[in-house]
Amino acid sequence: MTDDTHTASLVDKLERERTLSRGEFKALLAGRTLPGSAARLFERARAARRAVYGNAVYLRGLIEFTNYCRKDCLYCGIRKSNARAERYRLTRKQILECCTQGHELGFRTFVLQGGEDPYFNDRRLADIVGAVRAAHPDCALTLSLGERSRASYKTLFDAGAERYLLRHESAAPGHYRSLHPPGYSLRNRMRCLSDLRDIGYQVGCGFMVGSPGQTDDCLIDDLFFIRELRPQMVGIGPFIPHKDTPFAGEQPGGASLTVFLLGILRLMDPALLLPATTALGTIHPQGREAGLRAGANVLMPNLSPVAVRKKYMLYDDKICTGDEAAECRACLERRVNGVGLDVVVSRGDCACFTRASPMSEAFPAAKLTEVRSVRPQIHAGR
């Protein structure tokens, strides 16, 4: 049975218990197109977000600093076999200039993302991380550099990086294998996530929605994996084919399934940092607004120099590749205000993350109090 009342009761149960059984998740996903079920989910998800974060939407300035990659993920436009990708690397100076510009625009988190580029060894990266920290002690620095050794993650943490984004891509082993060349291991990806968490990073995982071969069961595996890992962030966006990859002819993922999953994730963990991603804005012109209405609370606009933007093409037709950072910032503010929320100038730490860290002086005192008072209502013992 999957009728409207049943899905409504599942939304209520998810809100109450923060999880469902596999069968219940299946029924909820199957019922997502029933009249009223998405509306009910989103209404509850917004209430959950409001209880923790009020109307705040956090910005992350994304600096795509290299598109060289030693990996060959079948879906990705910057995979090493794509001979048509024009490769680039930003210099240390260029990266620091992006941060300076971002800081002036009110960004208080920078995300350094790139392909797995061996040029950026630990020594070079630690130097860049240290320089960004020294220049902007009031900002958080996030890395998103793919799979590295535990020792490397530790070196970068000690240099001042506090957060790490590493999407797990798929928690279903067979599906994970079908998205990657032979020999790439889901186990290693999970090892990375667990090392990152042990070292003390705020961790983000995530997956693409509607990637080739993905079933509702795969998505439920993702939800259960997230429940186990308890990350501070989860990045999800629709899969979008790239013309120079083996998945060129595949169907893209849907905006409506993506936003439905955002609503589910918000109810599973009201304190989660959930971006309304650029891929969601690419697949639908109002995708990011729909994401915010479904419970997302983060946007990650691009701070990379306009000259390289088009070269970091993970998928076709990526939006905002021609806009100056300042234009992007103004456009996003209008979009956020349009759905009744506010862009705030803040590091935007996860409300659940209170563990003392070497950077704890950087938290404004007021924020810490707010964080502490929120936590017990969410889930103690994280």
In the complex, the residues that contact ligand SAH under the rule CB under 6 A are 75-76, 113, 115-116, 144, 146, 166-167, 169, 208, 237, 239-240, 242, 279, 314-315
**CB of 253: closest distance to ligand SAH in angstroms?**
8
Cα–Cα dist 240/313, whole Å: 11
Nearer to ligand SAH, 64 or 162 (CB): 64
Residue 282 Cβ vs ligand SAH, minimum distance, rounded to whole Å? 8
Residue 267 CA from chain centroid, whole number: 17
Q: How far is the CB of 247 from ligand SAH (least distance, A)?
A: 7
Q: Which is nearer to ligand SAH, 136 or 242 (CB)?
A: 242
Q: How far is the CB of 237 from ligand SAH (least distance, A)?
A: 6
Between 268 and 313, whose beta carbon lies closer to ligand SAH?
313
Do 131 and 168 touch, CB atoms closer than 8 A? Answer: no
Q: Rounded CA gap, 378 and 354, in Å?
A: 13
CB of 87 to ligand SAH, least distance (A): 14
User: Closest separation between CB of residue 146 and ligand SAH, Å?
Assistant: 3
**Strands of the sheet with 163-165, listed across from one edge:** 61-66, 109-114, 140-144, 163-165, 202-209, 233-238
What sign does the dihedral 67-221-184-119 (CA atoms) show?
A: positive
Which runs of consecutive H residues, i.e. helices, occur in 136-230? 150-159, 173-179, 186-199, 216-229
Nearer to ligand SAH, 7 or 202 (CB): 202
Give me the least distance between CB of 202 and ligand SAH, in Å please: 16
Residue 52 or 171: the one with the smaller Cβ distance to ligand SAH is 171
Q: How far is the CB of 208 from ligand SAH (least distance, A)?
A: 5
Chain center to CA of 2: 31
Contact 67, 87 (CB under 8 A): yes
Q: What is the dihedral of CA 173, 177, 182, 185, to 10 degrees?
A: -40
CA distance 304 to 282: 18
Q: Which is closer to ligand SAH, CB of 213 or CB of 364? A: 213
Of 46 and 79, the one with the shorter C-beta distance to ligand SAH is 79
User: Residue 107 and residue 101: Cα distance in Å, rounded?
Assistant: 9
Give the nearer residue to ligand SAH in terms of CB position, either 204 or 305. Answer: 204
Instruction: Output the residue with the shortest Cβ distance to ligand SAH.
Output: 146
DSSP letter for each residue of 80-92: TT-TTS---B--H
Nearer to ligand SAH, 28 or 298 (CB): 298
What CA–CA distance (Å, rounded) separates 156 from 161? 6
Q: In angstroms, what is the minimal distance from the CB of 107 to ligand SAH?
A: 19
For the chain, the straight-line distance linking the first and the last C-alpha, in angstroms and rounded, comes to 35
CA distances (Å), 266 to each of 14, 41, 51, 191, 203, in order?
A: 10, 10, 11, 25, 16
